[in-house]
C-alpha cells in the first residue's frame, strides 16, 4: 500500500501536463484498439484484399480472391471446414492430416482427403513460389491442429483453470489496491475547503478498474479454445458493425467507424487547441506586454480559428466533400434560425466586444442589477465578480443592447454621502463641518484624491431635515465601499463633536 501511495504521489506530481499526456494516450489507445482496425477494413482502391484463416480464434494465414471466389468466401469456407474436421476428429479420435496435392496443374491443400484450399499466385509472399507457399501453409496448419488437440487435453485444462484462478486473484488484488487509493484520495478531497469533488485522478482510477476487468476477462477467454472462438466472432461482429454504412451524405457513404474517428479527432483538436491557447495566454503573450483584454481577444480568435480550420480538416479526412459541408452548413443555418437565435446573438456580440472593447477585464461595471468586476470575456458570456464574491455570467448581448455603467473609463469615481440635519441648524457651520469631515477622511485613506478636492453641497429641503451631499473622488472603484464607510464615520464624529 505504501508503494501504491508513493506511485500515486508521483502521478499527481505531473499536474496538468500529466493530465494531457494521459488523456492523449487514452485517445491513441482507443484509436489503435477499436477504430484503427475498423478503419482498415475499408481498403484503398486497387489494393489486394486478404481475409484471415482462423482456427480456435487464432489467425494462421491470409488468403486473397482466386478469381472464381472472393477472399471473404474463400476464408469463410476454409474456416468452416477446419472447424468441422477438427470437431469431428476430436469426437471420433481419428488423426487429422494436411497434405499437399496437385490437381489440374494447381497446387492444393487437402485435409483428410477433402479439398481445403488452392494456392494461387495472389496468395504467395513476394519471392516465394506456389510450392513453397503451400509447404508453409501445411506446416502452419499442422502446428495449429496439434496445438488445438493439446488445448483439449486434461493436462492443459488443468493448467488453464489454474491460470484462470491466478488471474482472478491478481485482478481482485489490483482492484482492492485501486479502490484503496480511490477512497484515500476522496477522503483527502473531503478534508479540503473547496467544494470540488471530481478530478482527473478519479477518472484515471475508474478507467484503470475498467481496464483491469477487461484485460483479465480477455486473458481468461484467450486460454480456452471455445471462448477464444466466441471472442473472435464477437470481434468480427464489432468490426462489421463499425464498418457498415449508416447513411449517405451527398455522394459519400458514412460509416460508424468514420464518425467515431472524427469524434476522437475532434476531441483531440479541442484539447490541443485549449492547451495551446492557455500556453499562449500564460507564457507567450505576457512577454509582449499589452492590455489583458487584448491578450484575451487574441487567444479568443486564435482558439476558434484553429477549431474552425481544424474541423474542416477533420471533415476532409473523414471523406466529406464541400457539397456535403454545404448541406451541413445549411442545416446549421436552419437550426440557428429556429432554435439557436439567442446563442448566435450572444456569440456575435462577443465578436463585437472583442473589436469594440466597451469593457475590459478588471474593470468595474454595472449591467442591470448586477455590479461587479469583469473576470473573463468569453465567446458567449462575460463573467463578473460581485462584491459578495459571487460569479455572475451575463450574456454578451446585454452589453451590446442594454445600458452598461463602466466605473473605470472616466478615471475618477465619485463617492457620494448624503447627510440630513434638523431644521434650525446653522447651514454655514454645517457646510464647514461636513467639509472638515471629508478632509479628515482624506487624510486617513490614501485612495481619496486631493485633486479634485472633496466637495459639500446643499441639496434641498426635506420633510424633516436639511439635505447635504458630501463628495470625495477616488481612482480605484473597488475602494468605494471602504471609502464610503470611512466618510460616514467621520461625518458622524464631526457632527457629534459640534453638537449638530
- pLDDT tens digit sequence for 73-95: 898 899 889 888 888 888 877 88
Query: Looking at the DSSP assignment, which residues form a beta bridge with residue 134?
Result: none
Q: Is residue 73 part of a domain?
A: yes
Residues 311 and 282 in one domain: yes
Mean pLDDT is lowest, of 73-82, 120-129, 185-194, 322-331, for 322-331
Q: Does this model's pTM top 0.85?
A: no
Residues 71 and 125 in one domain: yes
Domain boundary among 339, 369, 395: 339
In angstroms, rounded to a whole number, what is the distance separating the alpha carbons of residues 123 and 130? 8
**Distance of CA 15 to CAs 22, 194, 200, 273, 380, Å?**
11, 18, 10, 18, 29
Place of cell 473531503: 190
Whether the pLDDT of residue 172 is over 90: the answer is yes
- Give the tens place of pLDDT for each residue, 267-299: 888 888 888 888 887 777 777 766 666 677 777
Q: Is residue 202 part of a domain?
A: no
Residue 320's domain spans which residues? Answer: 252-339
Place of cell 482462423: 54
Mean pLDDT is lowest, of 108-112, 345-349, 408-412, for 408-412
Q: How many CA atoms does the CB half-sphere of 228 hold within 13 Å?
A: 16
Residues 320 and 359 in one domain: no
Q: Is residue 184 part of a domain?
A: no
Whether the pLDDT of residue 37 is over 60: the answer is no
The number of distinct structural domains making up the chain is 4
Determine what percent of the chain falls in helix, strand and coil, rounding each to the nearest 5. 60, 20, 20
Residues 401 and 430 in one domain: no
Residue 236: other Cβ atoms inside 10 A: 12
Q: Is residue 294 part of a domain?
A: yes
- Give the tens place of pLDDT for each residue, 386-409: 877 888 899 888 888 888 888 777
What is the secondary structure of 54-91 as a DSSP string? EETTEEEEEEE--SSS-HHHHHHHHHHHHHHHHHHHHH
Residues 85 and 129 in one domain: yes
Residues 452 and 371 in one domain: no
Q: Is residue 43 part of a domain?
A: no
Q: Is residue 344 part of a domain?
A: no
Q: What is the CATH number of the domain that holds 455?
A: 3.30.70.100
Amino acid at each position: 500500500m505504501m508503494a501504491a501511495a508513493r506511485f500515486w504521489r508521483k502521478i499527481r506530481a505531473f499536474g496538468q501536463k500529466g493530465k494531457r499526456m494521459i488523456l492523449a494516450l487514452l485517445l491513441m489507445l482507443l484509436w489503435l484498439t477499436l477504430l484503427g482496425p475498423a478503419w482498415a477494413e475499408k481498403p484503398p482502391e486497387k489494393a489486394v484484399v486478404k481475409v484471415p484463416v482462423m482456427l480456435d480464434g487464432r489467425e494462421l494465414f491470409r488468403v486473397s480472391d482466386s478469381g472464381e471466389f472472393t477472399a471473404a468466401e474463400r476464408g469463410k469456407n476454409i474456416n468452416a471446414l477446419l472447424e468441422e474436421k477438427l470437431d469431428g476428429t476430436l469426437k471420433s479420435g481419428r488423426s487429422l492430416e494436411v497434405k499437399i496435392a496437385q490437381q489440374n496443374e494447381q497446387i492444393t491443400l487437402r485435409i483428410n482427403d477433402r479439398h481445403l484450399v488452392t494456392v494461387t499466385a495472389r496468395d504467395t509472399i513476394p519471392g516465394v513460389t506456389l510450392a513453397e507457399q503451400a509447404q508453409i501453409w501445411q506446416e502452419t496448419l499442422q502446428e495449429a491442429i496439434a496445438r488445438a488437440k493439446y488445448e483439449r487435453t486434461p493436462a492443459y485444462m488443468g493448467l488453464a483453470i489454474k491460470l484462470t484462478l491466478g488471474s482472478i486473484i491478481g485482478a481482485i488484488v489490483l482492484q482492492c489496491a485501486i479502490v484503496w487509493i480511490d477512497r484515500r484520495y476522496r477522503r483527502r478531497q473531503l478534508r479540503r475547503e473547496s467544494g470540488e469533488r471530481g478530478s482527473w485522478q478519479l477518472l484515471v482510477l475508474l478507467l484503470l478498474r475498467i481496464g483491469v476487468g477487461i484485460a483479465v476477462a480477455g486473458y481468461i477467454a484467450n486460454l480456452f479454445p471455445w471462448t477464444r472462438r466466441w471472442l473472435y466472432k464477437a470481434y468480427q461482429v464489432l468490426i462489421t458493425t463499425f464498418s457498415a454504412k449508416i447513411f449517405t451524405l451527398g455522394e459519400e457513404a458514412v460509416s460508424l467507424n468514420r464518425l467515431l474517428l472524427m469524434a476522437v479527432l475532434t476531441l483531440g483538436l479541442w484539447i490541443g487547441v485549449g492547451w495551446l491557447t492557455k500556453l499562449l495566454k500564460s507564457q507567450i503573450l505576457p512577454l509582449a506586454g499589452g492590455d489583458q483584454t487584448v491578450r484575451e481577444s487574441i487567444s479568443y480568435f486564435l482558439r476558434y480559428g484553429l477549431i474552425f480550420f481544424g474541423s474542416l480538416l477533420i471533415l476532409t479526412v473523414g471523406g466529406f466533400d464541400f457539397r456535403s459541408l454545404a448541406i451541413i452548413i445549411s442545416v446549421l443555418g436552419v437550426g440557428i434560425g429556429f432554435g439557436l437565435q439567442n446563442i448566435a446573438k450572444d456569440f456575435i456580440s462577443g465578436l463585437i466586444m472583442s473589436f469594440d472593447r466597451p469593457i475590459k477585464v478588471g474593470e468595474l461595471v454595472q449591467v442591470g442589477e448586477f455590479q461587479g468586476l469583469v473576470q473573463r470575456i468569453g465567446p458567449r458570456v462575460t463573467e463578473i465578480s460581485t462584491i459578495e464574491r459571487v460569479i455572475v455570467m451575463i450574456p454578451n448581448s446585454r452589453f451590446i443592447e442594454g445600458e452598461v455603467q463602466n466605473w473605470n473609463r472616466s478615471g475618477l469615481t465619485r463617492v457620494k454621502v448624503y447627510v440630513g440635519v434638523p431644521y434650525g441648524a446653522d447651514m454655514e457651520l454645517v457646510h464647514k463641518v461636513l467639509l472638515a469631515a471629508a478632509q479628515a477622511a482624506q487624510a486617513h485613506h490614501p485612495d481619496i484624491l486631493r485633486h479634485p478636492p472633496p466637495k459639500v453641497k446643499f441639496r434641498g429641503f426635506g420633510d424633516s431635515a436639511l439635505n447635504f451631499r458630501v463628495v470625495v473622488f477616488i481612482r480605484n472603484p473597488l475602494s468605494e465601499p471602504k471609502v464610503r464607510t470611512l466618510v460616514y464615520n467621520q461625518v458622524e464624529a464631526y457632527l457629534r463633536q459640534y453638537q449638530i
